[in-house]
Amino acid sequence: MHERSLAGALLKQVEEQVRALSGCRVEAVSVSIGEFAGVEPLLLASAVEELAQEGFAAGAIFTFAETPLVAECLQCQNEFRVQRFHFHCPACGGGRTRVIRGDAVIIESITLCDEVPANH
Amino acid sequence: MATRTINIQQDIQQNARAAAARLREAMTRRGTLVVNLVSSPGAGKTSLLEATARTWRGRRRMAVLVGDLATDRDARRLQPHVPAVQLTTGGACHLELPLIERGLAQLGNTLDELEFLFIENVGNLVCPASHDLAEHVRVVLLSTTEGDDKPGKYPKMFRGSQAMVISKLDLLPYVPFSIPAVVEDAQQIQTDLTVLPLCALSGQGIDDWCAYLDNERRRMLCEGESCNR
């Protein structure tokens, strides 16, 4: 997936959230990148850092955490970490499984300063 | 300086996913099965669509949206047989929903009572895996000349597909490709994959492919409704 256009989408959504929260400066944004999201974390991080420089999020600290791919077995309800993209249940061997996390890029939280800046 | 941290938990693709779901629902209500064909370049997507159109020969109402970086070569191959709209992405290596919507607008009245809408995606096993085009069914094509070890290398694509067409069956005697091996590799990732080996040029396996499509459309029409089979 294209990390640069994703970075743009991410920043746009942070901006929307910030406007809705009517806070002032964005201090920090925490992002989790699922290992099955189709995104290379380093590329996304550097694209975000580059694009964020000129804009409402300039100076904000972005942290990126990679989150594991976890699936649920539809046969025995076992939750398991998917290893090497083998989606069969390690407990019962069943092939019918459902991804429950690790396939998306998620804005986890936004930290805003509470004070309205002088030139707001 | 006081700060506050707000919990957001927002999937950055949430809006795109919701828009795709809405369009898929609209296509279901219209009775149109949307099929997203994906593969590496040259695996045989256009040839398969030509063979499908030839086999059905007007007995099914189908149309195609073709995605490519450049040229309208594929659309021109299909237009003698079925309504086909070329979507040129410029530089983008995959189709996205807004371009599909533009294509649907170009189809205009053809959309009325359309039974099958095929989307021939840009030849690429990587990026299209992450973009929902409002399809009901995603079909991944893998040709016999590409090697039987590919599914494991492109897990997101194979996980997100409902069927795997093994194309260019006529070349099987000449290449070191094992159908059991590729099926096992793919089913480790997606156990529910329907496997459809075929040769678009000779017609081998095409009837099974067409039957699969008819069946998927029936399933789409029946899902969520009481349906007397």
Give this complex's ipTM.
Answer: 0.87
Cβ contacts below 8 Å, chain A against chain B, sum to: 91
Q: Which pLDDT score, from 0 to 100, does residue A20 have?
A: 83
pLDDT in tens, chain B (229 residues): 788 999 999 999 999 999 999 999 999 999 999 999 999 999 999 999 999 999 999 899 999 999 999 999 999 999 999 999 999 998 889 999 999 999 999 999 999 989 999 999 999 999 999 999 999 999 999 999 999 999 999 999 999 999 999 999 999 999 999 999 999 999 999 999 999 999 999 999 999 999 999 999 999 999 856 465 4
Q: For residue A82, what is the DSSP state? A: P
- Cβ–Cβ contact A109 with B under 8 A: yes
The span from the CA of B133 to the CA of A38, in Å, is 16
Least CB-CB distance to B6: which of A10, A104, A110?
Answer: A110
For residues B39 and B145, is the Cβ–Cβ distance under 8 A? no
The predicted structure's pLDDT at residue A119: 53
pLDDT, one tens digit per residue, over A84-120 is: 999 999 999 999 999 999 999 999 999 998 765 555 4
CA distance B139 to B137: 6
Tokens matching residue B54: 């030839």
User: B203 CA to chain A: closest CA distance, Å?
Assistant: 32
Is residue A56 very low, low, confident or very high in pLDDT (cuts 50, 70, 90)?
confident
Phi, psi (rounded to 5 degrees) for A109: -155, 160
- φ, ψ (nearest 5 deg) of residue B219: -65, -40
Write the CB contacts of B96 (distance below 8 Å, at least 6 apart in sequence): B16, B131, B133
Distance CA B54, CA B202 (A): 12
Whether A2 sits inside 8 A of B190 (CB atoms) is no
Which sign does the torsion angle of CA B165, B167, B172, B175 carry? negative
Are residues A85 and B187, on separate chains, in Cβ contact within 8 Å?
A: no
Q: Are A61 and A35 in contact (CB under 8 A)?
A: no
Closest by Cβ to A10, choosing from B5, B12, B159: B12
Select the residue of A36, A96, A114 nearest B2 (Cβ to Cβ).
A114
Which residues from B are below 8 Å from A when comparing CB atoms?
A: 1-13, 92-93, 126-127, 129-131, 152, 155-156, 159, 187-192
